[in-house]
Structure 1
């Protein structure tokens, strides 16, 4: 584990006025397979096309030498001219603080069309690239220079976590973050902020039920929008705040603009949050909140007056693999307007007496789109309410 105080030093990352970046972000939710041609090909294209130089940052990896070598090989298979940057706490026989200030390495990065952050431990990225006073090292500034001049900054898993200005660090279980809360310097730490200060980013979303842990972090730090990306999937964000989803599955969008909490209730609670699912090929503008369906859904808007299903939607484990998405898909094309999901404590959770009910509601602002070629949906603006449940006897006792 990294010392929390070292991570906290990143809280003062330079915020000097800068021109708006001209480049793109490609943010992957983790576990991007080497055969996911759509993600890797788009990364190379955004970096300049065939032969594009891409700097691989393996700082987060447990074995950065091996990770960097493998990622360079993968990118080169898709037409890049990639190279690994040996800046990381876990590189053997190297001084990461000296390397992070190496102007030769910084110059190499600056000449590239893209930068890719490997997965692993996001705290290792900020420790390696942010000075003790919170300012950017030479290498980190070079990465920002690539982004600002029109290049792409990309990352997967830990490389996605550092994209927003706040990231999860020493996180508890998903339910633990709801039942105990989150704190700066412990569960939360500063990220590198490439995506700006108004969007919270999280990863491994559907595979690990992490949509729920986004909520306390967003409330704690004042985020109104959160984007959670699933595994083997990526989103591309441009300077106009347009989001495009590519890869295997999709991303969850959380909107807390009109959400409220009951301050008299000590346990976590939330009313009138909005949850949406953006499927692969979908586009969405974060500022205008305008949705553009993928080509296979352009004529697939669902008619709420003619639902396909008429069944109760319920789950005893809403935090399970893909469960929330399955519930959303069933609800958007259903004569029933509500779905209930329960999150109960498991062994190791800090509050065995506390669970939560998630209620999803389809109302007049909810919209669904169905693919013409596959069993796939886009779901927009379901209402989500969360209330605590008292557990009188844990199932595992």
Structure 2
């Protein structure tokens, strides 16, 4: 029978028995309203993406701002730290690399994370930047074995509380929510098999708060689908998935502004239900939005503000006619392309399916994604560029069994 999901902030027991210690650490770190901002980049952040890098420097204090660069996640931290510092310096900052990585030769990462001098240098900065790589290396370095914060992590929180910026790309984006993908798998296996604490997901650092789940490399890898099982299991209402070379800027008032090359998907499960009679993954009455570069969203009010160059699409004069169907909804930008067409179509509904390699494991198990325009759905189009924004389209996901073979030669 369908059950309605609670539209509540995150409330769950974290894995490994560390919940009490982590909760205490987060309570101390988050005491008082944070006055700072977050710049969460979805990965593959190019050096020439001036809007993102300039915004990081601006939020850290402007030209000459000190920014602590954490190459902790990187496979080659020396090279990653140096390259990131060079980019930030090019945009006017005075960055310094924090030598905190288990992969740096001769470094005791746990001792370094509690070094008072290193913590003091981070605390004195106007911002911190976490590079890409393996997000598990970040949390392993900055948290003690019992889940409590290291001195350096407390210093990062101090920067954020007093008004600085915490930025990160790829792995540096994953750590922004309280739950992060750890050994995250591809979307389809995640939908089929569900999630396991300590394997698929683990505790993140939680800068964005209790009620928003963050994922990265979103559109190019179809990852919006793998966010759903996590959000359901951990009782998140909102999910923010950011595409590559793009960033979501989260202000002290919790408003979200998208800048950079592409955009971000916003998932809202506040009205969603799950049919518990079905053993396979399913969800009904979710909402999906696409925020393009220049768009803003206020989670407190639910208000969406499109970029200044966009005009509302008139559904009475559609550009697309006839059924809308995508055979691989998890393909590169497939979901956004379908949503854009739906909002400028004579159809009220669009469908996409997801299935695996016919020669792989359980090839007959797939999923159908149905997207439906409702009275609250909106589409917006730029009058200067071929870009769209889509707001609050209903999304339903149900398991389906495919007939094999899927195709045969004529």
TM above 0.5, yes or no, is: yes
Number of aligned residues:
389
Matches within 5 A, 1:77-92: 77-92=90-105
Distance (Å, rounded) in 2 between the aligned partners of 1:77 and 1:225: 35
C-alpha deviation, 1:173, in angstroms: 1.6
2:273 is paired with a residue of what secondary structure? coil
> For the Cα contact (< 8 Å) 2:186–2:223, is it kept in 1?
no
> For the Cα contact (< 8 Å) 2:309–2:383, is it kept in 1?
yes
Aligned to 2:278: 265
Distance (Å, rounded) in 2 between the aligned partners of 1:237 and 1:20: 14
Which of residues 196, 203, 216 in structure 2 aligns to 1:190? Answer: 203
C-alpha deviation, 1:88, in angstroms: 1.2
Q: Is 1:303–2:304 an aligned residue pair?
A: no
C-alpha deviation, 1:171, in angstroms: 1.7
- Quickly say closer, same or farther: Cα 1:396–1:134, change in 2 above 3 A: farther
Distance (Å, rounded) in 2 between the aligned partners of 1:396 and 1:72: 52
C-alpha deviation, 1:311, in angstroms: 2.5
> For the Cα contact (< 8 Å) 1:160–1:202, is it kept in 2?
yes
TM-score, length-scaled by structure 1: 0.95
- Quickly say closer, same or farther: Cα 1:205–1:161, change in 2 above 3 A: same
Q: Is 1:19–2:32 an aligned residue pair?
A: yes
Structure 2, unmatched stretches of 5+, are 1-14
Aligned to 1:251: 264
> For the Cα contact (< 8 Å) 1:332–1:368, is it kept in 2?
yes
1:16 is paired with a residue of what secondary structure? helix
Q: Is 1:114–2:134 an aligned residue pair?
A: no
- Quickly say closer, same or farther: Cα 1:174–1:88, change in 2 above 3 A: same
TM-score, length-scaled by structure 2: 0.92
Deviation readout 1:44-92 (Å, 9 max, x if unpaired): 0000000100000000000111100110001001100000001111111
Matches within 5 A, 1:105-144: 105-144=118-157
RMSD across aligned positions (CA): 1.6
Distance (Å, rounded) in 2 between the aligned partners of 1:113 and 1:350: 49
Aligned to 1:318: 329
Aligned to 1:209: 222
C-alpha deviation, 1:393, in angstroms: 2.6
Distance (Å, rounded) in 1 between the aligned partners of 2:178 and 2:242: 17
Q: Is 1:329–2:340 an aligned residue pair?
A: yes
Structure 1 segments of 4 or more deviating over 4 A? Answer: 7-11, 347-350, 394-397
Matches within 5 A, 1:308-387: 308-346=319-357, 350-387=361-398
- Quickly say closer, same or farther: Cα 1:41–1:348, change in 2 above 3 A: farther
